[in-house]
Amino acid sequence: MIPVLLVVEAVVAAILIVAAIVLRDPARAAILVSAAVAIFFGYRHVAVLTAESPIAGRPVQLLWALIGLGAVLLAWRGGTLLRIATRALNALGLGLILVACLVIVPHELAQVGTAAPAAAPVPAERPTAPSSKPLRDIWFLVLDRYGSAQSLELNYGIEEQLTPWLAAHGFHVTPDAHANYWRTSLSMASVLNLDYLDALTPGLSAADRLKDHAAGRFLTDLGYRYIHVGSIFGPTRTAIRATDNPLLENTSDFAAAVFDSSLARTIVRWVGEDKIDPRRQRQADWARFELDALDAAVDVPGPKFVFGHLLLPHPPYVFDAEGNLVSDAADARRSRSEAYEAQMTYLDARLKTLLEPLLALPEAERPIVVVMADEGPYPARYEGNPQIAGPDPDFDWSSVTDEELRIKFGILHAMLLPGVDPDRVPHPLTAVNTLRFVFDEYFDAELPLRPDRVLIPGRSAQEPVDISDRLGIGAAR
């Protein structure tokens, strides 16, 4: 945040100095610049807050115009009224600062001396690598909201094309694979820490468990180079144990939020320079960056563990089937099925290009590759606004149908396991057992598979409800 705030302060200070020189009165300049700052940074906030009210649109714009006109009249008339307004606004500004400090300072002081949270624990059955086995490269690719064939057919009426290609190239495809949790952070924290969240040491958030996970610690302790390709999703953007953590050098989330919530975004669109929503543009930029970074990782010497969390085919839907950027107007004309399928088709093509050189390696050098989803797509009833990419926060999980469960929890899951008998792959398979199985097969980890459970929110996210039986998954192994 600090660089953004410094730039804003510097620009406003420069404008204030110039205005004071031109008007030959700092008080007049301050009134005008304050009004301009309030309008510039407050315009879209007020527009969003009033979007569902009778004053939305033109009335709100008129309100801002009146504020600007009032500031001009106040500066022009000057005199006693200007002095009173200046004192009042100074007091208001001081009050706003004090209110912010009353919220922020106690919170920050409470953090002083607080012990940092302990790292997510390695399971009690800590795996070790037998010296007789080579350390193969491991690729772990997570495709966000890439449903199973059944999930995509039920939700979008489309046919999934990637797993037939993977199966034809030696991957073991698990058609009945399921996510264990309903949300990315929970699902991936469980997978990377090799166990259900309620079995791990309490006190850590899912985001903390993603920053420093058991799989990463185990593999780096064995001597693996850990390449963590950062994503736009905060919890998987960086990893503490990563040897390499390539990131897209773009504006911070805070800078993007400031731009999106200010008049700047509206001005850009008014002048016709912006054909795509900035949030959709960032989705495209990060997706391309991650795919390029994974391509580059192919040539990095091993042994290496390459992790990539791709927010594709996750919305917003920004690509057509050839990978071209789709404008806002063109995207609005697509159905949710058309948009999802186009983005999925582009992702499939890039994944095939990435995997082909790995598959061409001799058997002894071929890597372990896991291609899986963290969760399935949202059913239409739960999707909320698909361009916001978030679920309906008021969705009643107690009303979820069996078909919606198959859509949400059915996931793409395929593994390239050189030297492993395909008959050893467990059926059914839920996400939590993915790395337990891989580590057991290649490192004699002696990690027994966990019972297969699928969980949905209960009265709270901390009290999930097991609905495995509704998906025909037995909890016992």
pLDDT exceeds 70 at position 115: no
- Which of 125, 124, 140 shows the shortest CA–CA distance to 443? 125
Q: Any bridge partners for residue 244, and if so which?
A: 227
- In this prediction, residue 129 carries a pLDDT of 53
- In this prediction, residue 387 carries a pLDDT of 43
Phi, psi of 439 (to 5 degrees): -65, -35
Written as six digits, the tokens of 385 are 């606004």
Please count the structural domains in the chain: 2
Same domain, 73 and 150: no
In-domain check, residue 246? yes
The last residue of one of the domains, among 111, 128, 146, is: 111
In-domain check, residue 477? no
Burial state string for 307-324 with b = 16 or more CB within 10 A and e = fewer than 16: bbbbbbbbbbbbbbeebe
The number of C-alpha atoms within 13 Å of 63 and in the hemisphere containing its C-beta is 14
Q: Model confidence at 67, in pLDDT bands (50, 70, 90)? A: confident
- In this prediction, residue 120 carries a pLDDT of 42
**Which residue in the block uniquely carries the two structure tokens 């899951």?**
413
- Residue 304, SS3? strand
In-domain check, residue 121? no
Q: Any bridge partners for residue 371, and if so which?
A: 141, 414
Same domain, 198 and 252: yes
**Which residue in the block uniquely carries the two structure tokens 């929970």?**
186
Same domain, 84 and 228: no
Contacts with 452 (C-beta within 8 Å, 6 or more apart), sequence order: 178, 428, 429, 430, 433, 468, 473, 474, 475, 477
Amino acid at 112: V
- Residue 191, SS3? helix
Distance CA 30, CA 13 (A): 10
Q: Tell me how far CA of residue 199 lies from CA of 20, 168, 175, in angstroms.
A: 64, 37, 27
- In this prediction, residue 125 carries a pLDDT of 44
- Which of 140, 138, 149, 148 shows the shortest CA–CA distance to 375? 148
Highest mean pLDDT of the ranges 45-54, 103-112, 193-202? 193-202
In-domain check, residue 94? yes
Q: Tell me how far CA of residue 188 lies from CA of 196, 201, 341, 349, in angstroms.
A: 10, 16, 24, 24
Q: Model confidence at 118, in pLDDT bands (50, 70, 90)? A: very low
Same domain, 246 and 181: yes
Same domain, 84 and 198: no
- Which of 193, 288, 307, 195 shows the shortest CA–CA distance to 248? 288
Amino acid at 111: Q
Q: Model confidence at 112, in pLDDT bands (50, 70, 90)? A: low
Contacts with 131 (C-beta within 8 Å, 6 or more apart), sequence order: none
**Is the pLDDT higher at 386 or at 301?**
301
Mean pLDDT in residue range 375-399: 70
- Which of 378, 365, 449 shows the shortest CA–CA distance to 410? 378
Distance CA 439, CA 446 (A): 8
Mean confidence (pLDDT) of the chain: 86
Amino acid at 269: R
In-domain check, residue 283? yes
Share of the chain above pLDDT 70, in %: 86
Same domain, 416 and 318: yes
Highest mean pLDDT of the ranges 39-53, 208-222, 456-470? 208-222
Mean pLDDT in residue range 435-450: 91
- In this prediction, residue 116 carries a pLDDT of 44
pLDDT exceeds 90 at position 415: yes
Same domain, 310 and 448: yes
In-domain check, residue 232? yes
CB 239 within 8 A of CB 307: yes
What's the pLDDT tens digit per position in 208-248?
Answer: 999 999 999 999 999 999 999 989 898 999 999 999 999 88
Same domain, 103 and 227: no
- In this prediction, residue 121 carries a pLDDT of 43
Same domain, 214 and 360: yes
pLDDT exceeds 80 at position 385: no
256-270, 351-365, 386-400: which range is least confident on average? 386-400
Mean pLDDT in residue range 295-316: 94
Written as six digits, the tokens of 352 are 């095939």
In-domain check, residue 254? yes
Q: Model confidence at 66, in pLDDT bands (50, 70, 90)? A: confident
What's the pLDDT tens digit per position in 127-160?
Answer: 555 545 679 999 999 999 999 999 999 999 999 9
Same domain, 221 and 366: yes
Rg (alpha carbons) of the chain, rounded to whole number: 27
Q: Model confidence at 41, in pLDDT bands (50, 70, 90)? A: confident
Distance CA 239, CA 211 (A): 5
How many residues belong to the chain?
A: 477
Same domain, 143 and 61: no
Q: What domain range is 36 assigned to?
A: 2-111
Is residue 153 classed exposed, middle or buried when 0-12, 13-18 and 19+ CB atoms within 10 A define those classes? middle
- In this prediction, residue 342 carries a pLDDT of 97
- Which of 237, 239, 186 shows the shortest CA–CA distance to 374? 186
Total Cβ atoms within 10 A of residue 45: 11
Same domain, 283 and 319: yes
In-domain check, residue 123? no
Identify the CATH number of the domain in which residue 166 sits: 3.40.720.10
Written as six digits, the tokens of 382 are 């739960």
pTM of the model: 0.75
**Is the pLDDT higher at 96 or at 350?**
350
Distance CA 211, CA 65 (A): 47
CB 177 within 8 A of CB 410: yes
